Amino acid sequence: SLVDKANYRHFMAKEIHEQPEVVGHTLARYVDMATERVSLPVTLPFDFKDIQRINITACGTASYAGIVAKYWFERFARVPVEVDVASEFRYREAPLRKGDLAIFISQSGETADTLAALRYAKAEGAHTIAVVNVPTSTIARESETVLQTLAGPEIGVASTKAFTCQLMVLANLAIAAGKARGELSDEDETKLVHGLVEIPRLMSDALTTELQIEKLAHRIAKSRDVLYLGRGTSYPLALEGALKLKEISYIHAEGYAAGELKHGPIALIDETMPVVVIAPYDRVFEKTVSNMQEVAARGGNIILMTDAKGAAEATVESLVTIVMPDMAAAFTPMVYAVPVQLLAYHTAVVMGTDVDQPRNLAKSVTVE
Ligand code: G6P
């Protein structure tokens, strides 16, 4: 059945490994493979040309998918995006203009704060899109437009495959917005879609880092704190890495924008502190390298996640370098999510925690 662990020790392991497949299914729903164009499964009841601002609202891991999407919408479609956690958005009385677009991201479609935020946005007259995994959920039923993620049932409390499927849907929506607004040409679109089509295979490649990460997990398990750094779309992934680690291994972790290092977390760095640096060779790579040098100078233990080019050009001694496949820079979060999830998973296994049912956490937070 869909909801057994197959040969895996935990649902979370199974769900991490399923990602190439379910992200591929999601891709096939949103892209016309024959023409290599984005083809949304529903007709939007508005024109992206008329949208002046987008609000994205979600909780937990889904909110980090929202931050990645902000970078995509702003880059591909030149439309300003605000991202909020739902518990803040719902009580802030955020001014929404009638006809603006509000996007809600939720695996379960039942998160109380996200649902309340959706109801607020509807009452303000905004167009609403729900990116949800459960099509029969309350959030799916109540939003104007539903864009489904095809992750299948997610059982592990800590979200993994739902996150990468959310990213796949949002990438397509951002490309559609860029096209509609005249910011992307047909050629740009084809190039971006080519990049998306590669993702499932790249995720499979990323899974081959597992043995190396399993070894690394034994070191991470001895740490009191772990810092995650990234820039650009790797910044929300740093937030997600830290969240995943604390949720299931109970080791304190923080995610930071690499450029903010010197505004605080650098004070924490010493020889006992692992620093996970997510740095694909992209347009901000050099900037991240200079942050790594600051960490190295203070004796921090760098765990670098990068590609072959980045590994060759990083002029810093790292404890471990996890070499990721070469790929289009725009979509690295979907692929780099894999080692980030594996590191949290294996650390939790070493710690002997209840990986699928971590203490104090619920899969779906249906009460405030
Ligand atoms: C809980 C889960 C998280 C999830 C969050 C949002 O905290 O443990 O994994 O990211 O809720 O849930 P949703 O169903 O709205 O995506």
Residue 168 has pLDDT above 70, yes or no: yes
As annotated, the active-site residues are 363
Residue 2 has pLDDT above 60, yes or no: no
Say what the pLDDT of residue 330 is. 94
User: Candidates 68, 89, 108, 159: which one to mutate for ligand 1, based on the most atoms within 8 Å of Cβ?
Assistant: 159
Share of the chain above pLDDT 90, in %: 87
**Interaxial angle between packed helices 332-351 and 19-30, expressed in degrees from 0 to 180 and rounded to the nearest 10:** 150
The tokens of 104 are what? 């809600």
Say if residues 217 and 249 touch (Cβ distance below 8 Å): no
Q: Which of 290, 251, 84 is nearest to 241 (CA)?
A: 251
pLDDT, tens digit, 9 for 90 and up, residues 86-118: 999 999 888 898 989 999 999 999 999 999 999
Place of tokens 């004070």: 267
Q: Could you give the CA distance from residue 345 to residue 248 in angstroms, rounded to a whole number?
A: 7
Average pLDDT over residues 325-342: 97
DSSP code per residue over 47-116: -GGG---EEEEE-HHHHHHHHHHHHHHHHHH---EEEEEHHHHHHHT----TT-EEEEEESSS--HHHHH
**Interaxial angle between packed helices 161-180 and 332-351, expressed in degrees from 0 to 180 and rounded to the nearest 10:** 170
Phi, psi of 285 (to 5 degrees): -55, -50
Share of the chain above pLDDT 70, in %: 99
Q: Hey, whose CA ends up nearest to atom 15 of ligand 1?
A: 106
Distance 152 CA to ligand 1 centre (A): 15
Judged by phi (left if over 0) then psi (alpha if -120 to 50, else beta), residue 232 lies in left
pLDDT, tens digit, 9 for 90 and up, residues 266-278: 899 999 999 999 9
pLDDT, tens digit, 9 for 90 and up, residues 197-228: 999 999 999 999 999 999 999 999 999 999 99
pLDDT, tens digit, 9 for 90 and up, residues 106-154: 999 999 999 999 999 999 999 999 999 999 999 999 999 999 999 999 9
Say what the pLDDT of residue 93 is. 82
Pocket around ligand 1: residues whose beta carbon is below 6 Å from it?
59-62, 106-108, 111, 114, 157-159, 361, 363-365
Average pLDDT over residues 168-193: 98
pLDDT, tens digit, 9 for 90 and up, residues 26-39: 999 999 999 999 99
> Nearest 10 degrees: CA dihedral of 20, 25, 27, 32?
140
Distance 175 CA to ligand 1 centre (A): 26
Distance 139 CA to ligand 1 centre (A): 13
Average confidence score pLDDT of the chain: 95
